[in-house]
A and B are shown apart, each in its own frame.
Chain A
Amino acid sequence: MSDRLSVFKTYKLYVGGKFPRSESGRVYEVTDSKGKWLANAPLSSRKDARDAVVAARKAFGGWSGATAYNRGQILYRIAEMLEGRRAQFVHEVADAEGLSKSKATEQVDAAIDRWVWYAGWTDKIAQVVGGGNPVAGPYFNLSSPEPTGVVTVLAPQKSSFLGLVSVLAPVIATGNTAIVIASEKSPLPALSLGEVLATSDLPGGVVNVLSGRTAEIATPLAAHQDVNAIDLAGAGTDDGLAKELEIAAADNLKRVLRPQPVDDWSATPGIDRMTAFLETKTVWHPTGSLGASGSGY
């Protein structure tokens, strides 16, 4: 072994396609499961949260207006980029969650496969949940799903990477933009994911990653008038935070996905996490009528 001194990484936020430090200048210590120091992570402030909302809103028009095919290709590109950095994420997840290398590998592989699963969904979900409605009149009537808008996602606290990907990918697959609050104790895989997203043709601002105290960041986001929805996966079910955030979210009637206990993030996800952040738009067009005798036969 050489005695070469390794180069530490400065973990930074990912907001609007850039990698800023917290505007507050604050960091907090991140340790592994045994308490050994791993890195300092940015301790995001409410100003960082507001900046992330601005970035996410700015990106919404382009991302929701992109073709479903294009979104699918970009999500697949994320999987490709992750595959190339698999070893790094195995290492980070093992440290973060105290897993053996093989268990951490399972988590990372499942997370990569999850991006592939959702990459395939982008141009199928509209056919599954939308469609024509046979109204009793001369109208062509079509219902289509549309993304809700800017979604705040509280990533699961325990499953720092597979859990994170499992809640984030369905939000952006359908054209929403996201502000993700990383696992408070284990934010490093989430912050590294930002580096992958930045090199996957994903437009800046579609995903914004914040680290810090979940309650401190989530509170202003739950009350933010330009956030349309909130996924409380990482709020915990019993400490009252989820309830507080849901009450704050009512101010502008955010769509709220309440936390549900998840034991195994590797299970097949289904479509619920996509439909939770979809609106249905129904458009009526008059068809006119050629009369009953209009047949050419």
Chain B
Amino acid sequence: MTMEKQTPVFEYAPAPESRSVVDIAPSYGLFIDGEFTEAADGKVFKTVSPSTEEVLSEIAQAGTEDVDRAVRAARKAFEKWSALPGSERAKYLFRIARIIQERSRELAVLETLDNGKPIKETRDADLPLVAAHFFYYAGWADKLDHAGFGANPRPLGVAGQVIPWNFPLLMLAWKIAPALATGNTVVLKPAETTPLSALFFADICRQAGLPKGVVNILPGYGATGAALVEHPDVNKVAFTGSTAVGKAIARQVAGTRKKVTLELGGKGANIVFDDAPIDQAVEGIVSGIFFNQGQVCCAGSRLLVQESIQDELLDSLKRRLSTLRLGDPLDKNTDIGAINSAEQLSRITTLVEAGEAEGAERWSAACELPSSGYWFAPTLFTNVTQAHTIARDEIFGPVLSVLTFRTPDEAVAKANNSQYGLSAGIWSEKGSRILAVANKLRAGVVWSNTFNKFDPTSPFGGYKESGFGREGGRHGLEAYLDV
């Protein structure tokens, strides 16, 4: 491993966002039928701040009995909720969107504390997108007849939704907004390491006057999610997370009538051609793999660079990575926050060790890691071949694997040489080449001369083992309608 001397940079004075804007209770219950309640078996777990390992709160852990209670509450609520005029459902969702906007600073700080990602991201990306998502689907609720699925498309019933820890509140919005707009009721399980924003959302539902049982939140571990997926009275399963769990869910629901959408892993190729604007490409590569510490399913984790510009590009990239500020996620200047959990950190470390053991060349930005919490320095690997583990497996961390190519055909072949097919990037100044390459890539989202852009109107989801179904846009309605 080579460590380069850090380029001199201006020192930044600390600029911490105040955490007094959020008031975290010492304990939280499950949210079932409009009430916070303890788990039937009284189990609890702790949620910690990954940047300090400070315990933030103690959370009730839902068991099978609680899942059943929540599904029954959702079933009961479904009758009235689905019978409401769409325009009334819309108004509830508009209310929720507005309350999220009002409370967005509080939620941003909360999310940063519980997840470890920089406040810059929660404040400028997560929260605006969350509010926008509810606002967007609110507008669909009374227009479903005109959405292209035939007249009077029907909701499915009770949706069981399981979401990950990388964008806790945004993933909740992607699941709950379209489900409610189409007239379904939901039971949602947030990830065990990031349950807080979902529980704050429960409070927002109460503030909005949402009828009891329409939204139920069940914090817990994998077993809670499995019980929810398996529950016979769940009509729809929506999951975002790992491909391995996605496959297990696909097996679980086989032979049932449950409708399933899966948004799973990725190993996105970010392709840089020799005519690309280098500085812009470097910024795109950085946001592609270091946004949210690389804990992004659509991350551009494989950099495919045309051989002739490899040296120039890598020099610029390393220079840029050396200026990234890693540290206190609540500091407004922070670029790289904490890894979400000790478990995730060890997964990243293991894969990086495999990269070194298999002969790829590691470079990490020289930066001081805080003494407590879970941290990983921005890292890139060169001399990576397609057979290397770090070119095939999703690392889900701030680790970039660099491969090279000579021709556009080779770039496409390498980009598509993956079990995944979620995202890809293309950097070139030549319009026809961008369109031709975008056309050949087997990926659900392609960014040309940009990366990691999201919008509620834009369908998102994968090809191949990155899952099926789309979230966002008109397409996102289909997952929750009986069509």
Binding site for B on A (CB under 8 A): 128-129, 133-137, 139, 141, 143, 148, 228, 240, 242-243, 246-247, 249-253, 255-256, 258, 272, 279-286
Give the distance to chain A from B42, nearest Cβ to Cβ, in Å: 35
Which residues of chain A are near B467, meaning CB under 8 Å? 253
Instruction: Please list 26 pairs of residues, one from A and one from B, whose beta carbons are closer than 8 Å in the complex, sorted by A's number.
Output: A135-B455, A135-B457, A135-B458, A136-B455, A139-B453, A143-B459, A143-B475, A243-B254, A249-B254, A250-B250, A253-B243, A253-B465, A253-B467, A280-B459, A281-B438, A281-B443, A282-B445, A282-B446, A283-B446, A284-B446, A284-B448, A285-B434, A285-B449, A286-B448, A286-B449, A286-B450
If over half of A's interface residues share one DSSP class (helix, strand or loop), that class is named, otherwise mixed; here it is: mixed
B473 at the interface (CB under 8 A from A): yes
Are A284 and B444 in contact, CB atoms less than 8 angstroms apart?
no
Question: Can you name the residue of chain B whose Cβ is closest to the Cβ of A242?
Answer: B255
Which residues of chain A are near B251, meaning CB under 8 Å? 247, 250
Say which residue of A133, A136, A141, A255 sits within 8 Å of B468 (CB atoms): A255
A136 to B460, CA, bound (A): 15
Question: Can you name the residue of chain B whose Cβ is closest to the Cβ of A135?
Answer: B455
**Inter-chain residue pair count (beta carbon < 8 A):** 102
B247 at the interface (CB under 8 A from A): yes
Binding site for A on B (CB under 8 A): 132, 148, 243, 246-248, 250-251, 254-255, 257, 262, 264, 419, 434, 438, 441, 443-450, 453, 455, 457-461, 463-465, 467-468, 470, 473, 475, 483
Which residues of chain A are near B465, meaning CB under 8 Å? 252-253
Are B448 and A279 in contact, CB atoms less than 8 angstroms apart?
no
Say which residue of A137, A228, A247, A280 sits within 8 Å of B453 (CB atoms): A137
Say which residue of A243, A250, A282 sits within 8 Å of B458 (CB atoms): A282
Which residues of chain B are near A279, meaning CB under 8 Å? 444, 463
Give the distance to chain B from A129, nearest Cβ to Cβ, in Å: 7
Which residues of chain A are near B457, meaning CB under 8 Å? 133-136, 141
Are A284 and B450 in contact, CB atoms less than 8 angstroms apart?
yes
Given known contacts A243-B254, A280-B470, A283-B446, is B247 in contact with A141 (CB within 8 Å)? Answer: no
A250 to B447, CA, bound (A): 29
A285 to B434, CA, bound (A): 9
Given known contacts A283-B446, A284-B450, is B254 in contact with A133 (CB within 8 Å)? Answer: no
A148 to B466, CA, bound (A): 13
Given known contacts A143-B459, A242-B255, A243-B254, is B473 in contact with A133 (CB within 8 Å)? Answer: yes
Question: Can you name the residue of chain A whose Cβ is closest to the Cβ of B461?
Answer: A280
Question: Can you name the residue of chain A whose Cβ is closest to the Cβ of B259?
Answer: A258
A252 to B461, CA, bound (A): 16
